[in-house]
Chains A and B, each alone.
Chain A
Amino acid sequence: MSEEFQLKPVSFSPEVLARIAPELSLQRHLSVGVRPCLRSFQEFKSVQINPQLDSINRYTSNQGISSKSTVLGSSNIKCGNTIIFCTITGGFIETLLPNDEADENVKEYEKIYENSEKQENNQQDDSLSNFRTVYPIIEIERGRTGAPTDEEMIISQTLHDTLLNSKILPKESLEIDLGLKTVDKDNNEIIIYPNESKDIDSSLFQFPRKYSFVLYASIQVFSRSGPILDAAWLALMIALKSTKLPCVYFDEKNSNLLNDISSLSSKKSVKTGVVNAKSGSQIICDPTKSHDLKLNNSDLYTTTIGLIELDKDFSVEIEDVENNEDFKALSVDKHTRNEGEPILLCDIEGDAEENAIGSRVVVIPDINTEDDDNLVSVTIIGGGSKVTKQSIQNSIGLAKLRSKNLQQQS
């Protein structure tokens, strides 16, 4: 054994290091002022809002009215590499008329609805019951099937709650002014709507029940590279803006046949379907006429900012940062930031950042008001990193900036 035993330092290429020690690799990147994805700390991913999927929207298809589609609104956005498709579809629900005997199940639904709102927002204004939301299903493509993942569930719930609480979708927007399909003097079938025919007796439009739309959103995400709440929300908002609600009429004549059809479709709501199918079957969407969905304030954007602390032990010292032109530009952040303040990272990307980031600040600023300080919501998730007053203020500033940019883009 003449060979001398030596302890050699092992060195890895950056790619290998990023795999085996993501935390270390991330910290080293941060210490020189750049992120593993090569963006700088407060650089957002580019967002590209593509024209909506024309062919599938029922009422805005560029080839006339798409006769078979049931999609009311859609959007397609690209955020960095991530692609998101969102489609909005609808359904009917009976709503209660004052002093009217409604179906048990409708009452039940109303009750549940009010209750849940009250529980959620005990302290808040009761007027929240005047707003509605959509029912989102989000699917993040990652080569698996089966039950939704935690992330999908959380984001669906967040979108659902945020939309309700930001009071974008007033109850009235979803209410249906029923028209009537009837026969005129010459025995032609005509459809009349209350808002367009002033001269017709308004008593014609006294219907025993009142209906509202419910909206469903289906969001598909491809190439997920980080938390996708911001992009999903953006896609949902753009889809809602493009949504057109059908004009709906009450058909007296066609009741028999349609009874059969809706008895088929009522399989889903087993318990309540029978009653509703009978009354709902004569409620038919106009194949061509539609109106825009009215939204209160469609310029709300969520912005998620990650907070991470620099770990001195891991940092790399680059001797001649001052002389290196490339690093000068990048390390501006480093010098303006106070010691001890966490780093703010915009549009978290990659597993290393996702895992290492202890706290996230989610901000929804209201940029349409004169008063610049209006915020719809600020949420701080997690407690892994120190959250300072300064960092929250900076986050809000960044969120406002981004919202304004997105507003210009869309």
Chain B
Amino acid sequence: MSDRRRITGPESALPLVFAPTPNNQSTTKSPQEKTNSGIRNFFIKTGIVSNCNGSCFLEVDNTTIIVSVYGAKPIRGSSVTSASFSVMTKVSNNLEELSNFTSSDLSHSKEEKEEQKLAKEDEYVTTNQIGKTQLSLVEQKLSTYIQTAFLPSILLEKYPKSSIEVFINILTNDSHTNSSLLSLITWCANCTSLALVDSGIELKDMVSTGIAKLTDDQTVVIDPSYSNEGRKTVGGQEVRAVASYMSVTDTVVGLMIESEEGVNGEMIEKVIDGCNTMAREIRSNMNGFLVSTM
């Protein structure tokens, strides 16, 4: 059944297939030389969307995110004692689909590996998700993470019979440095936090989120940016983690750990500590920003 509400173009159109960029030609220079210990510079601005209750714009490297908060708005015909809270994410529909599962990492004969790599790299055919109704996998994961992480922070019982809706729009995502899903989650969460503050909805505490990875040699890298070079080392014993904190109660409200191999408690402890360090730094940054905008 064709979509009659949208102008979707001819049915028989094929998506563009781009050949993989030859390595020597992808002159990837990291926009900002990054040392292992720091967090990349980021730009924030609140209140840029006028027809919502609170909004925030965040830019880090080439990733740009707009979060708008709608609510608390009344829901008709419902008599719940606390507000419902929902998160919708939209990755601009022509950005490549992020995959947190990298098929090229899997062990196969060399020849085959190359073949698969080709298949993998060719994945970025145009995704014309025109008229799509369901969220993509990435959008889904992002929404769920943010919803889980922010549920404890919002005083939902102050807003009976109403709903609070968060809309996350990822306008651009940097395909050079951090196409990783975890990194995207981190920045979306931090942006959401400021948008919620901007909306004036009552919060127990601001949530701040950090990302860290534990490399082969057991060193913790905060806010890792995946340059082309870095991506090749993925697949070793590497643990990547995102954790969201409410610093008043010092509790973890959101957590996502990824690794190709098995992990143990010690590794988790290290990587979570890294996240905590970054989250605290982000928090003090956000505090400074909020004070300066008062």
Contact = CB atoms under 8 A, between A and B. Distances in A.
Interface of A: 53-56, 58, 63-71, 81, 83, 85, 87, 89-94, 103, 105-106, 109, 113, 135-137, 141-143, 145, 147-148, 153, 156-157, 160, 214, 216, 218, 220, 222-225, 246, 257-258, 260-262, 265-266, 268-269, 271-273, 276-277, 280-281, 283-288
B230 interface: no
B41 interface: no
Given A55-B62, A222-B49, A222-B68, 18 more contacts: A55-B175, A56-B172, A63-B27, A64-B28, A66-B175, A67-B20, A70-B124, A81-B50, A89-B128, A92-B15, A94-B12, A135-B130, A141-B52, A145-B88, A148-B5, A222-B169, A265-B125, A288-B22
Contacts of A283: 14, 17
A265 B12 contact: no
A68 B171 CA distance: 15
Interface of B: 5-22, 25-29, 31, 48-52, 62, 64, 66, 68, 70, 88, 92-96, 115, 118-119, 122, 124-128, 130, 165, 167, 169, 171-172, 174-176, 179
B92 A269 contact: no
9 contacts: A63-B31, A67-B21, A93-B12, A93-B14, A109-B12, A153-B5, A222-B48, A261-B17, A283-B14
Contacts of A91: 9, 13-16, 126, 128
Nearest to B128: A216
A143 B127 CA distance: 24
Contact of B95 (A56, A106, A280, A287): A56
**Candidate in A67, A90, A273 with the most chain B CB atoms within 10 angstroms:** A67
Contacts of B130: 135, 137, 216
**Candidate in A68, A222, A273 with the most chain B CB atoms within 10 angstroms:** A68
Given A87-B92, A87-B94, A269 B128 contact: no
B234 to A, nearest CB: 16
A70 B175 contact: no
Nearest to B174: A55
A224 B96 contact: no
A280 B94 contact: no
Given A109-B11, A137-B6, A262 B126 contact: no
Q: Is the interface of A mostly helix, strand, loop or mixed?
A: mixed
Nearest to B62: A55
A261 B7 contact: no
Contact of A269 (B11, B52, B66): B11
Contacts, number: 198
Given A135-B7, A223-B51, A277-B14, A69 B95 contact: yes
A55 to B, nearest CB: 3
Contact of A69 (B48, B64, B175): B175
A134 B7 CA distance: 9
Nearest to A58: B18
B92 A220 contact: yes
A66 B119 contact: no
Nearest to B127: A70
Contact of A143 (B18, B50, B68, B95): B68
A272 B12 CA distance: 6
A67 B10 contact: no
B128 A67 contact: no
A141 B165 CA distance: 13
B270 to A, nearest CB: 31
A63 B21 contact: no
Nearest to A286: B19
A145 B5 CA distance: 14
A354 to B, nearest CB: 13
A156 B7 contact: yes
Contacts of B88: 145
Contacts of A156: 6-7
A13 to B, nearest CB: 21
A56 B174 CA distance: 7
Nearest to B96: A68
A179 to B, nearest CB: 12
Contact of A67 (B49, B62, B175): B175
A92 B49 contact: no
Nearest to B130: A137
A266 B70 CA distance: 38
Contacts of A136: 7
A53 B172 contact: yes
Contacts of B52: 141, 143
A109 B111 CA distance: 42
A214 B130 CA distance: 14
A87 B172 CA distance: 10
Nearest to A140: B51
Contacts of B124: 68-70
A216 B5 CA distance: 15
